[in-house]
Structure 1
Amino acid sequence: MSDTDSHKPRVLFLNRSYWPDTEATGQLLTALCEGLADEFEIHVLAGQPNVTTSEVEFQQTAQRNGVTIHRVKHSTFPKSNMVLKSLNFISFVRACRRQIHQVPQPDIVVFETDPFLLPFVADRFRRKTGCQVIGYLQDIYPDLAIALKKIRNSWPIRQLRKRLFDVYRRCDRMVVLSTDMRQLLLDDGIEKNRVRIIANWADTQQVVPIETDNRFRANFGLGEKFVAMYSGNLGLTQRLEEFVEAAALLQDDPEIQFVFIGRGATRPDLEAQVESLGLSNVLFCDYQPLEELSHSLSAGNLHLIPLTTEISRCLMPSKLYGILAAGRPYLTNAPSSSELYRVTEEQEAGFTVEAGSSQRIADAIRTAKADPDRLAAMGRRARKLAEEEYTRELSIQRFGQMLHEIQSDSQA
């Protein structure tokens, strides 16, 4: 407990990414920590920023919006090289192991998994200090990497997974984003009463529907075309090839335009696929500034959310929440067993198709284009869902309640 402010529990978050980084995990964690700062003494042990702004000096300790940020010194090799990227992660974890003992001793440590070795840092610190520990999983490794075939499920990887899940079983609480992720933890023997679902969110005040005078449409010459949009990381988890194949099947309709916004490991391959197919109905553009997010997301008539069966138990697509906030319907090929499929069907906020068929995707897009009234109704329901279920305030409230709950448990 803090000596200077005994009525406020002291909470330390561990994650490489934090403000001013633009990665989704860093932005979400920043909003969460700043939202909790009124009720808790919040500290964050983070890495060096990936971006440089006039506001950021590479200082070891800084205050921002009620949060104390402690930055560790670690290697920052280019992330394009997998070996060097791994060295960055190892360097960060080793630095965290040292510096966690230099910050004011917390009552509760919350670890994320950027990188996925951070649970071991928190567990080691718990054994030495007796603090409480919460695991906050944006995705589940190594299961996700295995599902993506980035690594083999070899004996060393199975041993690593066993050790990680041993840590999870010792945690006072585990926080995940969906029922699918929760079930994966339960299947591995983690007690049900220790697992909480706290969804991610979009800022429903920052992201709003733009129905007229859309700057993104004007800037990219989209006019009145029907835009099928993917906005987000163009990485391995997305499996976007099926959507490019669907674009090829729809090239006979000049009113349909596919737009892919973002960057990532698979963008060069997708661009090559578009070129090899000779497609003129696919546009790639870079991430848009945050202040333009309402315009860019609202420019899509129908958003695209891919989710394979293997991946659905390891993460929940964070892009869903921005799409809902923008009041736009979406098309997903999520498996029927997944939470994303269930939410889509129950809330009638979008279309679902079976994965594995670009023809089904193309047919669904034609169906959506032919029924603008149905699309508009879906968009209204999407915005309502964002305002009622997926707000920053609601997630912060749930996280705060959980922190108070385990603090009470420790004092019982």
Structure 2
Amino acid sequence: MSDHPQSRPAWRGVALRHDDVVDPGDLGHRRDDPVGTRVAFLTQCFHPEPAAIPLGITRSLRAHGMRVQVLTGIPNYPTGKIRQGYSAWRRTSERHDDLHVLRTPLYPSHDRSAAGRAINYVSWAASSTFLGRSVRRHADVALVYGSPITAATSAIAARLRRRMPYVLMVMDLWPDSVFATGFLTGGVKRRIAESALTRLTNLAYRFADHVTVPAPGIRDAIVARGVRPDKVTVVYNWTDEKVMQPTAPDPLFRTRLGLAPDDFVLMYAGNLGSAQRLDVVVEAMARLSDVPHVHLVLIGDGVERQNLRDQAERLGLARVHLVDPVVPQVLPAILAAADLHLVSLADDPLFRITLPSKLQALLACGQPILVCAPGDAARIVTEAGAGFTAPPEDPVRLAEVLRQGLQTPRPQLRAMGRAGHDYYHLHMSEAANTRLLADVITTAANRVRRTR
């Protein structure tokens, strides 16, 4: 299960002239019609880059009746190399499935160089500000996908220049998330960068007409930094509901692993990285040596995969199975072959306000969940009645909670999955959150219209 499990559909692209712009008069927009609100969507990454969430937002808003145009960068993520058919220094205009996309230049870089990454962000902030006016000029409101936060630069300039309203979608905390990834761990450069990013972030919050966040914990953090509570709305990221939905279990999955129908399967599907602290889960499995029918299945790849394999062998745990990644289309049937699903994160302050996208996918698929993570993820599973929670990085307590899961009848586990499915559709679904986002956007646009 990827961090963003939405699939990436095929696009039909038609290149336009560099100065070609959709005529807003052709959109049939009325100033008093909120459904026809014209939205300039500002995001540094967009299809064909692996940016499923921005793509999903544009499709959902358009399906809601909004008129969306995209201002984005030249595709270079995640390799840092410009995709074939594009030039890093030339503005291009395209139409994909009747969606107008304007791309402005940037310095391509996505390596571990702090300088290269900074130039990448700043270069697109500058080019989108000076070369993206054709998209902003024909919009009632801008919607900024604020990761990186420098993507808000263009919207801030338009707000100051002609009072154009914008809604800022905060996907993670800046500058906290930058330095949490290991960039500029100390020294003068760190202090300069942190000061500059903090000022820009505060300006982005200040001039935004509204701010949306993907988790309640991020809302609390932003409010604590001085943003008015009534200015911040939780809009959850949704999963690809055409793929991630309840389905019958894969009848061969257990057989391929040599598992019996009565064996209890705890499954984790996703990135096998250091942030997930899956070594704690393997250690907890070692504490269940008296329960030989419980198995841990880890599906995916990542930097910790070999270490996890070595740990299981060192502990003599033949009941730990590592499975190669699978495509999203077959994942729901594989998920349904397990008894309980794991969401695991390290005990880090940032993770207390982080919702891993696998949580939405599991809820949408109607699967019972064991959350071994701090903060919002555990709160949501508890609130939904969708499973169990254990404190992060505590193998002793995790083993105890696993025993509770083992003692829970399977019909009760399936009932937990159904409760999570109901919770997802009420609070976290595409329909519910597109409505929220559309209301925020049209309110921002109408507020400025009334004052003009």
Structure 1 residue aligned with 2:57 = 32
Is 1:68 the equivalent of 2:100?
A: yes
2:133 maps to a residue whose letter is H
User: d(CA) in 2 for partners of 1:86 and 1:302?
Assistant: 42
Structure 2 residue aligned with 1:110 = 143
2:233 maps to a residue whose letter is R
Q: Which of these residues, 358, 366, 381, is aligned with residue 419 of structure 2?
A: 381
Q: Does the Cα contact within 8 Å between 2:76 and 2:109 map onto a contact in 1? A: no
Structure 1 residue aligned with 2:245 = 208
Structure 1 residue aligned with 2:24 = 2
User: d(CA) in 2 for partners of 1:306 and 1:315?
Assistant: 12
2:45 maps to a residue whose letter is S
Q: Which of these residues, 39, 46, 64, is aligned with residue 18 of structure 1?
A: 46
How far 1:173 moved relative to its partner?
0.6
Alpha-carbon spacing, 1:150–1:50, altered in 2? closer, same or farther (3 Å): closer
Q: What secondary structure sits across from 1:385 in the alignment?
A: helix
User: d(CA) in 2 for partners of 1:111 and 1:79?
Assistant: 24
Structure 1, unpaired ranges of 5+: none
Q: What secondary structure sits across from 1:37 in the alignment?
A: helix
Question: 4+ residue stretches of structure 1 with deviation over 6 A?
Answer: 80-83
User: d(CA) in 1 for partners of 2:176 and 2:302?
Assistant: 20
Deviations 1:315-340 (A, max 9, x none): 222211100111111111334xx333
Alpha-carbon spacing, 1:184–1:104, altered in 2? closer, same or farther (3 Å): closer
Q: Does the Cα contact within 8 Å between 2:381 and 2:420 map onto a contact in 1? A: no
Structure 2 residue aligned with 1:156 = 192
Deviations 1:180-225 (A, max 9, x none): 1111011011011211111122244422223344455455555534
2:61 maps to a residue whose letter is L
How far 1:20 moved relative to its partner?
4.1
1:283 maps to a residue whose letter is H
1:329 maps to a residue whose letter is P
Q: Which of these residues, 223, 226, 232, is aligned with residue 264 of structure 2?
A: 226
1:287-298 matched pairs, under 5 angstroms: 287-298=325-336
User: d(CA) in 2 for partners of 1:376 and 1:86?
Assistant: 47
How far 1:90 moved relative to its partner?
4.9
Q: Which of these residues, 312, 319, 326, is aligned with residue 358 of structure 2?
A: 319
1:135 maps to a residue whose letter is L
User: d(CA) in 1 for partners of 2:324 and 2:105?
Assistant: 30
Structure 2 residue aligned with 1:244 = 282
Q: Which of these residues, 389, 400, 422, is aligned with residue 352 of structure 1?
A: 389
User: d(CA) in 1 for partners of 2:319 and 2:117?
Assistant: 35
User: d(CA) in 2 for partners of 1:262 and 1:214?
Assistant: 20
1:292 maps to a residue whose letter is V
User: d(CA) in 2 for partners of 1:220 and 1:97?
Assistant: 54
User: d(CA) in 2 for partners of 1:326 and 1:21?
Assistant: 26
Q: What secondary structure sits across from 2:326 in the alignment?
A: coil
1:43 maps to a residue whose letter is Q
Q: What secondary structure sits across from 1:103 in the alignment?
A: helix
Q: Does the Cα contact within 8 Å between 2:354 and 2:376 map onto a contact in 1? A: no
Is the radius of gyration larger for structure 1 or structure 2?
Answer: 2
Alpha-carbon spacing, 1:11–1:215, altered in 2? closer, same or farther (3 Å): farther
Alpha-carbon spacing, 1:14–1:386, altered in 2? closer, same or farther (3 Å): same
Equivalent residues, number: 404
Is 1:257 the equivalent of 2:286?
A: no
User: d(CA) in 1 for partners of 2:179 and 2:113?
Assistant: 20
User: d(CA) in 2 for partners of 1:358 and 1:103?
Assistant: 53
Q: What secondary structure sits across from 1:376 in the alignment?
A: helix
Q: What secondary structure sits across from 1:316 in the alignment?
A: coil
Alpha-carbon spacing, 1:158–1:91, altered in 2? closer, same or farther (3 Å): closer
User: d(CA) in 2 for partners of 1:80 and 1:108?
Assistant: 35
2:191 maps to a residue whose letter is W
Percent identity, please: 25
Q: Which of these residues, 99, 120, 129, is aligned with residue 131 of structure 2?
A: 99
Q: What secondary structure sits across from 2:321 in the alignment?
A: strand
Q: Does the Cα contact within 8 Å between 1:246 and 1:361 map onto a contact in 2? A: yes
Structure 2 residue aligned with 1:183 = 220
Q: What secondary structure sits across from 2:325 in the alignment?
A: coil
Which stretch of structure 1 is more off in the superposition, 93-102 or 170-179? 93-102
Q: Does the Cα contact within 8 Å between 2:167 and 2:444 map onto a contact in 1? A: no
User: d(CA) in 2 for partners of 1:290 and 1:83?
Assistant: 35
Which stretch of structure 1 is more off in the superposition, 212-221 or 354-363? 212-221
Q: Which of these residues, 121, 126, 139, is aligned with residue 172 of structure 2?
A: 139
Q: Does the Cα contact within 8 Å between 2:104 and 2:132 map onto a contact in 1? A: no
1:27 maps to a residue whose letter is A
Alpha-carbon spacing, 1:200–1:85, altered in 2? closer, same or farther (3 Å): same
TM-score norm. by structure 1 comes to 0.85
Q: Does the Cα contact within 8 Å between 1:204 and 1:387 map onto a contact in 2? A: no
Q: What secondary structure sits across from 2:24 in the alignment?
A: coil
Q: Does the Cα contact within 8 Å between 1:237 and 1:311 map onto a contact in 2? A: no
Alpha-carbon spacing, 1:239–1:134, altered in 2? closer, same or farther (3 Å): farther
User: d(CA) in 2 for partners of 1:233 and 1:206?
Assistant: 19
User: d(CA) in 1 for partners of 2:315 and 2:392?
Assistant: 21
Structure 1 residue aligned with 2:5 = none
2:416 maps to a residue whose letter is M
Structure 2 residue aligned with 1:281 = 319
How far 1:138 moved relative to its partner?
1.8
